[in-house]
Structure 1
């Protein structure tokens, strides 16, 4: 795979799954894991989709795009 050294694009793998809770503490719901496809990939975990979108938006701001939202 050829690395793009100027970082003009970002690729992510997003995994989504639903968690059911037997407790009454409200922990049921969707969970998300986001992995960058780049060489320095790491998993980031989120408990709501809004957090995922904010994180991805920071990646665009980091390469000079206007802030989203």
Structure 2
């Protein structure tokens, strides 16, 4: 028996390593995207909580000003 590695074994090993690398890279990208979406949702909630009441206050005072003129 020869201890030399056949080209088919090298190709199969390379394919498995590439597939594993792509899988890990995909997991990392998905994690980053989920984290970014969570951060954006948090920022949107903060903006909505701040500017929602502020917008209502500005609109109310603008209407009040038109009624008093």
- Using structure 2 for the length normalisation, give the TM-score: 0.31
Instruction: Answer 1 or 2: higher relative contact order, Cα 8 Å, separation at least 6.
Output: 1
Bigger share in strand: 1
Which is higher, the Rg of structure 1 or of structure 2? 2
